[in-house]
Structure 1
């Protein structure tokens, strides 16, 4: 629906831009926003709609698809049984849903840092990459999250960066033949983490120089670490492979914090369409409101934010 035409039909259109986000969301939701698929591939995770769909993972997938969400992400996929992975993969295929990221996690990979250059850390990481290839085949995944780990204070930053680049090049030798792309995630959880900013991640991806090494641009982390998100997206665009969502503060759904997700979603949509690209938008956040009603509000928030 064209936003200008939509507003012209709304009885509250004249004052909509002056309303607080929650009030604007309520007014547009009441005006019967379209209930079909979203413009972008938003990817919920298991548990997000448990009150609506129950605990069964397959029922949750069906609920997601019925409400227009045509992708899934599951950070813990690597830890699921082979049988469960196959069942999830088969259901995704039947529903015509895409698989988003899972985490290539060789234990506590924040503390087990590739920045150290230690052989045992590297070998464990590469072993997990090989396992991840088989998992990706079962669920038809093309993206997997990688976090290089903690900053190594005993080494100069240039040596740490070279260690990370070398490890990622070795991983690409494993992933690239299987069309699996690791997406590097700069994080805001603690300053102890080696990878913190989009420009740093961009530089590393350029140095690795592989289609299997790209950026995971998590907008919650990037709001906290650097801001200027559309500018930083544009600077790093050619190396971005995946986006994640979370409003700040609170790390919940759009419209619950300070980030203008409607504007960001439009920017990503317009730029990706112009370049004939498609991105999965991982919903790596909590629900601001609890229970069945909270899940309904979450869906309404995405309907509002996607209505650009």
Structure 2
């Protein structure tokens, strides 16, 4: 999300490069390249449809070239953060030309907070704009964020305000067929000062709003850091899963570089009946081709 790009840039270039886990980049490369058979188009994964986050992958290239690169690797879809500064018509045309799906983008970020009623008029206007943008992009989902902590408000009050905001736009998104996916964060590593983290409060909010068009952006990286037991929590809350994102921990790199055993988790998702895209909101540890090979291996269970 645009509001957190400075934080994301730190993770990409700062101390996390040193603490990305017990395996060095050299040993990981050896594991990936020597012991596993490379495939020509690793984005053509056997079980799961992955969406490349084009804000992160090939970030030094123009946006349309990032979309080309996604297709070259065989991935079927993309996701991205803010629409600001992007040629949306060109992106839509490029994705149509290449047969790629735009799975989701960010409609509402950290500030101003949806958790403050003073911002609810603006939130409604932004969702109206998002509906029009999503139609242009032929995109069915958009991420919304609860907001950073509001001074003098309890967490319960902030969560109640999120419910109010989502109920307010509920008729709009249901008529448009646009799903808002609410993303809980983690406060241990990335988002100290944010009001919503973990599956439990997100489930309470979505079940209270009670709409097929309000679900959770279930980012497994955040969930792992916040609560663990990824498969158990997915089973308990699967009725409210709207979208899945992945990254390994520590380091927020691709699956296969950290402590999460993604073959088991991806297998559980398929068992539960998840057929949507899984967003690769992770920074390639070495390069995009090697990252794509690791994603293929994680899904080749």
CA distance in 2, matches of 1:190, 1:49: 22
Query: Deviation string for 1:134-161 (max 9, x for gaps)?
Result: 1101111111111111233523444333
Question: 8 Å contact 1:117–1:160 — kept in the other structure?
Answer: no
Question: 8 Å contact 2:215–2:240 — kept in the other structure?
Answer: yes
> What's the CA shift for 1:85?
0.7
Q: Which runs of 5+ in 2 are unaligned?
A: 1-26
- 1:45 alignment partner in structure 2: 53
CA distance in 1, matches of 2:263, 2:64: 30
Aligned length, in residue pairs: 271
- 2:136 alignment partner in structure 1: 138
> What's the CA shift for 1:36?
6.9
Question: 8 Å contact 2:140–2:178 — kept in the other structure?
Answer: yes
- 1:30 alignment partner in structure 2: 37
- 1:3 alignment partner in structure 2: none
- 2:236 alignment partner in structure 1: 235
- 1:201 alignment partner in structure 2: 202
Query: Deviation string for 1:52-92 (max 9, x for gaps)?
Result: xx83433332331232210100112x2135xx211211222
CA distance in 2, matches of 1:232, 1:246: 17
| Equivalences for residues 75-86 of structure 1 within 5 A | 75-76=81-82, 78-81=83-86, 84-86=87-89
- 1:123 alignment partner in structure 2: 121
Query: Deviation string for 1:198-252 (max 9, x for gaps)?
Result: 1110111110011111001111111111111110111110100101111111001
Query: Which range is displaced more, 177-186 or 30-39?
Result: 30-39
Q: Secondary structure at the residue paired with 2:215?
A: strand
Over 3 Å counting, the alpha-carbon distance change for 1:36 and 1:240 in structure 2 is closer
| Equivalences for residues 109-258 of structure 1 within 5 A | 109-118=109-118, 121-188=119-186, 189-258=190-259
CA distance in 1, matches of 2:72, 2:41: 13
CA distance in 2, matches of 1:304, 1:42: 13
CA distance in 2, matches of 1:49, 1:135: 23
| Equivalences for residues 55-66 of structure 1 within 5 A | 55-66=61-72
Tell whether 2:94 aligns with 1:96.
Answer: no
CA distance in 2, matches of 1:58, 1:173: 34
Query: Deviation string for 1:247-283 (max 9, x for gaps)?
Result: 11100111111111121111112322xxxx4221111
Task: Give the TM-score taking structure 2 as reference length.
Answer: 0.82
Task: Give the TM-score taking structure 1 as reference length.
Answer: 0.80
CA distance in 2, matches of 1:226, 1:162: 22
The structure showing larger relative contact order (alpha-carbon pairs under 8 Å, at least 6 residues apart) is 2
Give the alignment partner of residue 296 of structure 2, picking from 273, 279, 303: 303
CA distance in 1, matches of 2:156, 2:294: 43
Query: Deviation string for 1:95-127 (max 9, x for gaps)?
Result: 22211221113xxx4242232322xx1111111
CA distance in 2, matches of 1:240, 1:36: 23
Instruction: Give the structure with the higher percent helix.
Output: 1
Over 3 Å counting, the alpha-carbon distance change for 1:21 and 1:268 in structure 2 is farther
Q: Which runs of 5+ in 1 are unaligned?
A: 1-19
Taking only aligned residues, the RMSD between alpha carbons, in angstroms, comes to 2.3
Question: 8 Å contact 1:48–1:295 — kept in the other structure?
Answer: no
Query: Which range is displaced more, 297-306 or 185-194?
Result: 185-194
Question: 8 Å contact 1:43–1:69 — kept in the other structure?
Answer: yes
